[in-house]
Structure 1
Amino acid sequence: MPNEFRESSVLFAAITILRGDSHAGGTAVQGQREAAPEAGAGGAYGALLRFAEGHGLVSSEEWLSLLSALEGGNEHEVFQDPSDPGVLIKVTEPELRLRNGRDRIPKVTPLHYLERWHLANVAFGDCAELVAVIPTAEGVRIVMEQRFVPAADPESPNPDQREINRWLRAAGFEYQSGAWVRQEDGLVMVDTHEGNFILSPEGLRPVDVELYRLKESTGPVIPWEVTLQRLADNSAYR
C-alpha cells in the first residue's frame, strides 16, 4: 500500500481531527493503549460523529441488513458485501464495548481504536479504511473496511502458535511482559492468538491483532515493505 494512501485516507483524516493536530501520524503514529482524553463538546464520540457528518459517512443499522453476515469475534460483527467479496466490513458495538456487553479493560477511545487500524496499515500492509459511523440509542458504532486475506488452504487457514512466534521474532519482535514488543520502533502487539493470523499464499499475515506504541516511542513505524524484506532475508525464518 503506497504511503500516499496511508496519509490521505479518511481513516488518517479522522485520526488527525480526533488528535486536534494537523501533523498527527505523519512521522509517529502513537496508538498508545491508555485511553486518550475526551475530545471536544460531546467527547470523542461526538467529535467522530461530527467528522462523519462532514464527510458523508453517517449510516444506519438498516444498511447492515443488506450485507451477508459472517462469523465474528468478541470485538466486531463481520459482514461481506455480496457485490464486493474482496473486502470485509467490521462493525464495533456501541461505544466500543465488547460483543458480550462488557467494557474493554483498559477502556479505549475512538482515537485509540482508529490509530490501531492505521498502525496495521503502515506496519503490516493492511488497507483498512473508515467507511461509516452509525449512531444508535446505545451509542456510536464504527464501521471499518478491511481487505479479505484468502488462506492458502481454506481447510487449515491459521498457523499454529509456534509458527506465529517464529514469524514475530523474524519480524523483530520479542516477547516481554505479556506482549510482543519491537524495540526498534516501539510497536507493541497483543492478542496474537492463532485466529488472528492467516496463512496466505504469500505467507503468514496478521489480520486482527491489537497494536499500539510505547509511550517513549519517536520516529516512524517500520513500514511493511521493510519488514517483508527482512523476513525474506531471514534464513532462520525461511
Structure 2
Amino acid sequence: MQHESGAICSPNASSTLEVALEDARGGTEAILRGGGLFATTRLAAEIESLRRWSERSGGGRDFEELRRPPDAFGFEHEVWFPKVSVERPRVLKATYDNSFGVMADGSEATPIKYLERLLLQNQVFGDDIELEGVVEPSFALIRIITSQQAIQGRPAELEEIEVFFSQRDFKRCFWRGRNIWFRNADRIICADTHGGNILVTQDGEMAAIDVPAMLAPDDFSFPPP
C-alpha cells in the first residue's frame, strides 16, 4: 500500500529517474560485455554508463551552485539551498566523488543502487526527488546531482516517527545490526529513520526527505532470525 503526501508529492518526479536507471542498467551490461578500461569492475561500468547517459541527455551541464561552497552537507551529499524566492523552491544535492551513500542494509550503494533507492523513496513516501544530471570533476569520477522540494520544518520526534511508519503498515525490527522498518505488502525495508531524515512541516505534515529504502532480499523474513 502506498500513501500519498499531498502537496509534497510530485507525480512526474520519477520519470527521469526511471529513464536513467533503465539506461544505466543496459549500458552497464554492454560495457561489461565489450571489455576495455571501464569493464574491469561492475562499479566502473556503472559509473561510465551513467556518465554516458548524462552526456547524451544533456544532464552534464554546468551547475552554478557547485561553484560556491555548499550551504550544508552530510554523510552522502553536499546541499545547496535556493537563493531566490520562487513558488516551489528546490534544494540541490550532489553526491561526493564516486561515493553514492549506503543502502538500507548498510552496504555501500553503487550508482544503479542509488538511483533505485531514490525511485523507491518517491514511490513509497511521495517524495519528489528529481535527477538533474551528472557532473564529472575529473576523468572517471562522477557526482550525481538531484533536487527535491525545499521543505521547512523541524526534526520529527521518536514518537512521531513511530506513528509515521506504523500508519503506513511498517513494522520495526533489528536486522544486520541496524534498526529498520519493514512492510510485508511490498517487502520494503527502510533505515536511518531519524529526525534528520524526517521532518514535521509547518502545516503539521510529516515528510521523509532522505530515508534509504530498498526491496528486501529473498532470504529476508519477519521477524529476522
Q: Same fold (TM over 0.5)?
A: yes
Other-structure match for 1:18:
24
Matches within 5 A, 1:15-164: 15-20=21-26, 39-41=29-31, 42=38, 43-60=45-62, 63-65=65-67, 69-83=70-84, 86-96=89-99, 106-137=107-138, 139-151=141-153, 157-164=154-161
| Cα distance, 1:65 vs structure 2 | 1.9
Output the TM-score relative to the length of structure 2: 0.75
For structure 1, which segment, 83-92 or 45-54, has the greater mean C-alpha deviation from structure 2 after superposition? 83-92
| Alignment CA distance shift 1:160-1:105 (3 Å) | closer
In the aligned structure 2, how far is the partner of 1:63 from the partner of 1:72? 14
Give the secondary structure class of the aligned counterpart of 1:48: helix
Which of 186, 208, 224 is the aligned partner of 1:206? 208
In the aligned structure 1, how far is the partner of 2:94 from the partner of 2:10? 25
Give the secondary structure class of the aligned counterpart of 1:96: coil
In the aligned structure 2, how far is the partner of 1:149 from the partner of 1:63? 19
Matches within 5 A, 1:214-233: 214-216=216-218
| Alignment CA distance shift 1:122-1:186 (3 Å) | same
One-letter amino acid matched to 1:76: H
| Alignment CA distance shift 1:63-1:207 (3 Å) | closer
Contact 2:10–2:127 (8 Å) recurs in 1? no
Give the secondary structure class of the aligned counterpart of 1:91: strand
Contact 2:65–2:80 (8 Å) recurs in 1? no
In the aligned structure 2, how far is the partner of 1:79 from the partner of 1:207? 15
Q: Which runs of 4+ in 1 moved over 3 A?
A: 59-63
Q: Percent identity?
A: 26
In the aligned structure 1, how far is the partner of 2:52 from the partner of 2:25? 14
Other-structure match for 1:30:
none
In the aligned structure 1, how far is the partner of 2:18 from the partner of 2:100? 23
| Cα distance, 1:20 vs structure 2 | 2.6
Contact 1:187–1:214 (8 Å) recurs in 2? yes
Output the TM-score relative to the length of structure 1: 0.71
| Alignment CA distance shift 1:90-1:196 (3 Å) | same
In the aligned structure 2, how far is the partner of 1:162 from the partner of 1:55? 44
In the aligned structure 1, how far is the partner of 2:152 from the partner of 2:10? 21
Give the secondary structure class of the aligned counterpart of 1:88: strand
| Alignment CA distance shift 1:63-1:40 (3 Å) | farther
For structure 1, which segment, 183-192 or 134-143, has the greater mean C-alpha deviation from structure 2 after superposition? 134-143
Contact 1:198–1:207 (8 Å) recurs in 2? yes
One-letter amino acid matched to 2:111: P
Deviations 1:179-216 (A, max 9, x none): 10001111110011111111011511111110101134
In the aligned structure 1, how far is the partner of 2:93 from the partner of 2:10? 23
In the aligned structure 2, how far is the partner of 1:82 from the partner of 1:211? 30
- Root-mean-square deviation (CA, aligned residues, Å) is 2.6
| Alignment CA distance shift 1:139-1:120 (3 Å) | same
Other-structure match for 1:26:
none
Contact 1:40–1:46 (8 Å) recurs in 2? no
Q: Which runs of 5+ in 2 are unaligned?
A: 1-8, 32-37, 39-44, 220-225
Matched positions, count: 188
Q: Which runs of 5+ in 1 are unaligned?
A: 22-37, 99-103, 152-156, 218-238
